[in-house]
Amino acid sequence: MSPNTKLPIIFGAMTFGKADTAGQTRTTNLSDCAAILDTFQKHNHNEIDTSRIYGEGTSEEYLAALDWKTRALVMDTKYCATPHGLFGQPVSKLNEKDTRAKMEESLKALGTESVDLWYLHTPDRTTPIEETLKVVNDLYKERKFKNWGVSNYMAWEVAAICEICEAKGYVKPSVYQGLYNAIHRTVENELFPCLRKYGMSFYAFNPLAGGYLTDRYHREDKDEDAEPGSRFDPKKLFGRMYRQRYWSEKTFDALDLLRAAAKKHGLGESECALRWMMHHSQLKKELGDKVIIGASSEKQLRMNLKDFEREELSADVLEALNQGWELCRGNAWKYFH
């Protein structure tokens, strides 16, 4: 059966993994992870997104333990190079040695010889891109992955990658995974035209702005009241990153506009944000675009999937979201690393 959504949905497994690892692991019990995957598949979705860096590799290990192959899931993973040792990781680059090693680590952790889609998760501007693209092409010829993509790159870098691949006869990237939601639309003006020119699809992450587009956060919230380990926990590196990305007077002004309009229709903030992604964003199914959604519980995922399946927003709610973006536009965080 086909999913009952306008755009295909991918489950983002960043929250899966062992406790006390760097990053955003929230679902550390395998039975809870299994319940999440069960619900995802009951809604007729089958694609999973993970990364070598998620849970320090334990997200991939959990998916292997959950027997993703027997579940007939499609698996996507990524290699996040850390040339400056960011995210608490040892230094690794997009050179031939490290890239090949990380590819093999992912395949071993996932218990497979190949994945459907493999990404360069972040740029490494200390390594010549020609060296990176050669090893990517070699790994493709060795059938380590069926398709490949990039994430967090600048539009001009994507264009350069595609031109080099074309000139050298290398396999070209087919997907860009990037930040996109109702209050963060910076990809629309520059990146999207680039992707369309080179025939690349866009997979959107952060459709709820890391939980900002929900009823959880308010202007008067204090740092010390943040839930430990949450996306906006200022004591965590990722929490500080998310605060830098979203936590501002302008974004709270945008939330106020949304909340006032949504309340008139008995709607929640997250439902409005997800319906915007499905029906009012610039994503197009015919171009292969998809939306990535994560969850820390089965209930949360179930509610979000149901919201994705709902109809278009009313004109006044849509206008509130558009006005909110205009408020945020001038201070919006960059879409690339």
Catalytic residue IDs = 54
The Cα 284–Cα 202 span in angstroms is 9
Decide: 255 and 269 in contact? Cβ < 8 Å.
Answer: yes
Cα 309 to chain centroid, rounded: 19
Tokens standing for 122?
């972040």
Tokens standing for 233?
């926990």
The Cα 17–Cα 148 span in angstroms is 24
**What H or E segment, with its residue span, contains residue 195?**
helix 191-197
Long-range contacts of 88-96 (CB under 8 A, 24+ apart): 88/22, 88/237, 89/22, 89/53, 93/124, 93/126, 93/127, 94/120, 94/123, 94/124, 94/127, 94/131, 94/132, 95/127, 95/131, 95/132, 95/135, 96/131, 96/134, 96/135
Tell me the torsion sign for CA atoms 99, 100, 105, 108: positive
The Cα 205–Cα 11 span in angstroms is 10
**What H or E segment, with its residue span, contains residue 74?**
strand 74-79
In angstroms, the Cα distances linking 41 to 1, 10, 63, 67, 253 are 10, 11, 14, 14, 37
Cα 314 to chain centroid, rounded: 27
The Cα 288–Cα 270 span in angstroms is 24
Q: Is 152 exposed, middle or buried (0-12, 13-18, 19+ CB in 10 A)?
A: buried
